[in-house]
A and B are shown apart, each in its own frame.
Chain A
Amino acid sequence: MNQPFIDLRDVTVRFGAADSETSTLALDRTDLRIDTGDFVALVGPSGCGKSTILKLIGGLLSPSSGGVIVDGREVGGPHRTRIGLAFQNPTMLPWLTVRENVMMPLKIVEPFRQHYRAKKKGEYAERADALLAQVGLTGMGDKRPWQLSGGMLQRASLCRALVHEPQLLLLDEPFGALDQFTREELWGTMQNLWMTQRPTVLLVTHDLREAAYLATRICVMSARPGRILEERNVEFPRPRSIEMSYAPECAELVQALRLRIAEARSDLSPRTTEPSVSLVGAEKEAA
């Protein structure tokens, strides 16, 4: 595995014109490599550019300079890496049933797309139902999104991100809005899904225990403009349990990460040319 699945080289992202007063340097010559089948968690202070990295990899944003290579190809062109994406906000379409929502990617992604209208539709529905069952939503397929609770919707949104068997899964704080118990339950679900399908996963999270529980590698980012400060491999054996996430080794890891991020936060990085404090309130919104 000499060629990484995801390769960010010297990536700089600047919002707004380079010379203007209001421009924001979100990423400054960042490097990140992720191997095929890895589960990488990205942690760091708020507004440091985590979502920006995710969007770069998803091809939703192009870098101001540097290269973003996914699966051996430059992102931005008509790349055909199958990608699944889930956000903190489940954004289900209210006029469709939960099952139809989950099936949405099949309607769009080739090669499923060309079969969607034909005989395969029933087969696709079964696939959606199977996934829903896997996350504990058996029999919920016919419901409308508004009839589900927030946690249920979040699970359905995970199913939607997985239904087309993506090679790459991009998750932006997918469990952020959930209560602790639902969240921990979904960690388990996520781990199972990853272990069975083995997609490459990039998970942005604020929850360090979540990162320790799920990831094979944790990347800590500096304050804006973001760079990867530190990478840590997480060697705990799988399948991991919630108990494990409270075990001393794990607590030690979490504590170390916490200190690193706290450091990054207070460090008004010398590379920051513009005032970074004044924007803190707005950043959560922007993300």
Chain B
Amino acid sequence: MNTATTIDDALTAPAGASSAASPTSTGAASSTGPSPAAATASVTTPRITTPAMKPAARKRSFKLSRKLRQRMLSAIAIVSMFALWELACIVFNISGLILPRPSAIFAVLLEKGPLLWPHAMQTLYTTITGFALGVLAGVVIGMIIGSSRFAYDVAYPLLVGFSSIPKVAVVPIFVVWFGAGTVPAILTSMVICTFPVVVNVATGLAHTEPELQDVLKVLGARKLDILWNVGLPRALPYLFASLKIAITLAFVGTVLSETVAANKGIGNVMIIASGNFDVPLVFAGLFILAAMGIMLYVISSLVEQRVTGWAARGNEVAMG
């Protein structure tokens, strides 16, 4: 139970921080959709799969079937949303230029699939590269800030100020420096996803129990020993909680930059398509983005569960 709250806190902390700070990133984050819904899902799942709980076999099968039922329900919800959309378009006779029917969008996806594929790959590549760099930077900065009061005091205001700059405003600068194309997209997604990682890693490090630090210090442990043996493992669940947010933000950064200055990528396709009033293609791009966003989110939360399974029960020990 404690984990749920901790991870929840960790989730809301950076999200809250960036929402206070940067209107662009939050607006975009909430428009990506999957984050809040999937967040609750991933918080509840470890509770069910915790190995230490050892529920009776009957109980487990019941829980499994409940999980299955949940899955089915959400599948039904998605399908019926599309059906409703389709129906509404027909009933109200909505023009394909305003809101194309899902069937038309899927048709475009099938038809233009081979053409869209390289663009999707470009977006994916940019996002993952930016994400990796952003997380790396975030972990390093977070470690420095989280383990030194001085660094925290000096760097934190700077970071908040930096992250409160709307990222759209940064893209033109990157374009001036590096020219239009992949580099500004990577940099934008890197910059946009660093902050939540920094906040979470720093929070995780700060959560190291002072008594435990004392136990180690008395042994003559160096700062690096404590960081390595206690701080980093303790910060790991926080880090992974932030990865889920970071990956969606990285995605936002990529598409943002692609729509402004690029000749490749889904964002670019969508901007060109909307210039040509090819609305179904715009929506097809949207669908691809949503699918990729969900995929990346699911991957990062699966990794989280694997790596920090101990946190599902561990925090109770820390409290007790």
How many A residues are at the interface, by size bracket? 20 to 34
Which chain A residues lie closer than 8 Å to B209 at the CB level? 89, 91
Question: Which of A93, A145, A147, A164 counts the most chain B CB atoms within 10 A?
Answer: A93
Q: Does B5 contact A (CB under 8 A)?
A: no
CB pair A146 B215 closer than 8 Å: no
Which chain A residues lie closer than 8 Å to B318 at the CB level? 91, 94
Q: How far is the CA of A196 from the CA of B276 in the complex (A)?
A: 87
Instruction: Give residues 220-259 of B contacting A (CB, 8 Å).
Output: 220-221, 225, 229-230, 233
Known: A144-B52, A146-B317. A94 touches B311 (CB 8 A): yes
CB pair A95 B52 closer than 8 Å: no
Which chain B residues lie closer than 8 Å to A203 at the CB level? none
Q: Does B315 contact A (CB under 8 A)?
A: yes
Specify the chain B residue showing the minimal Cβ separation from A143: B52
Q: How far is the CA of A160 from the CA of B209 in the complex (A)?
A: 16
Question: Which of B216, B217, B218, B233 counts the most chain A CB atoms within 10 A?
Answer: B218
Specify the chain A residue showing the minimal Cβ separation from B308: A95
Taking a contact as CB atoms closer than 8 A, the residue among B212, B221, B316 that contacts A91 in the complex is: B212
Question: Which of A60, A84, A110 counts the most chain B CB atoms within 10 A?
Answer: A60
Which chain A residues lie closer than 8 Å to B313 at the CB level? 94, 144, 146
CB pair B218 A95 closer than 8 Å: no
Specify the chain A residue showing the minimal Cβ separation from B222: A108
Taking a contact as CB atoms closer than 8 A, the residue among B52, B220, B230 that contacts A147 in the complex is: B52
Interface string of A107-118 (1 = CB under 8 A from B): 111100000000
CB pair B220 A109 closer than 8 Å: yes
In whole Å, how far is A26's beta carbon from the nearest beta carbon of chain B?
A: 16
Which chain B residues lie closer than 8 Å to A202 at the CB level? none
Which chain A residues lie closer than 8 Å to B55 at the CB level? none
CB pair A91 B215 closer than 8 Å: yes
Which chain B residues lie closer than 8 Å to A150 at the CB level? 320
Q: Does B211 contact A (CB under 8 A)?
A: yes
CB pair A94 B317 closer than 8 Å: yes
Interface string of A68-94 (1 = CB under 8 A from B): 000000000010100111110101111
How many B residues are at the interface, by size bracket? 20 to 34
Which chain A residues lie closer than 8 Å to B219 at the CB level? 83, 85, 105, 108-109, 164
CB pair A170 B218 closer than 8 Å: yes
In whole Å, how far is B267's beta carbon from the nearest beta carbon of chain A?
A: 40
Q: Does A37 contact B (CB under 8 A)?
A: no
Q: How far is the CA of A145 from the CA of B316 in the complex (A)?
A: 10
Taking a contact as CB atoms closer than 8 A, the residue among B214, B229, B314 that contacts A107 in the complex is: B229
Known: A108-B220, A109-B220. A89 touches B211 (CB 8 A): yes
Which chain A residues lie closer than 8 Å to B315 at the CB level? 94
Q: Does B310 contact A (CB under 8 A)?
A: yes
Specify the chain B residue showing the minimal Cβ separation from A61: B214
Q: How far is the CA of A97 from the CA of B104 in the complex (A)?
A: 57
CB pair B229 A144 closer than 8 Å: no
Interface string of A198-231 (1 = CB under 8 A from B): 0000000000000000000000000000000000
Q: How far is the CA of A153 from the CA of B212 in the complex (A)?
A: 14
Which chain A residues lie closer than 8 Å to B221 at the CB level? 108
Q: Does A240 contact B (CB under 8 A)?
A: no
Q: Does A258 contact B (CB under 8 A)?
A: no
CB pair B214 A55 closer than 8 Å: yes
Q: How far is the CA of A147 from the CA of B313 in the complex (A)?
A: 9
In whole Å, how far is A214's beta carbon from the nearest beta carbon of chain B?
A: 21
Q: Does A136 contact B (CB under 8 A)?
A: no
Taking a contact as CB atoms closer than 8 A, the residue among A85, A87, A95 that contacts B314 in the complex is: A95
Taking a contact as CB atoms closer than 8 A, the residue among A78, A80, A85, A145 that contacts B218 in the complex is: A85
Interface string of B172-210 (1 = CB under 8 A from A): 000000000000000000000000000000000000010
Interface string of B90-131 (1 = CB under 8 A from A): 000000000000000000000000000000000000000000
Q: Does A104 contact B (CB under 8 A)?
A: yes
Instruction: Give residues 267-320 of B contacting A (CB, 8 Å).
Output: 310-311, 313-318, 320
In whole Å, how far is B204's beta carbon from the nearest beta carbon of chain A?
A: 13
Known: A89-B211, A144-B52. A94 touches B218 (CB 8 A): no
CB pair B220 A93 closer than 8 Å: no
Q: Does A45 contact B (CB under 8 A)?
A: no
Q: How far is the CA of A201 from the CA of B214 in the complex (A)?
A: 17
CB pair B217 A80 closer than 8 Å: no
3 closest residue pairs by CB, A with B: A94-B314, A91-B212, A95-B310
A78-B220, A85-B218, A144-B313 given; name 9 further pairs at CB < 8 Å.
A89-B209, A89-B320, A91-B215, A94-B310, A94-B317, A95-B311, A105-B219, A145-B317, A146-B313
User: What is A's interface to B at a CB cutoff of 8 Å?
Assistant: 55, 58-60, 78, 80, 83-87, 89, 91-95, 104-105, 107-110, 144-147, 150, 153, 160-161, 164, 170
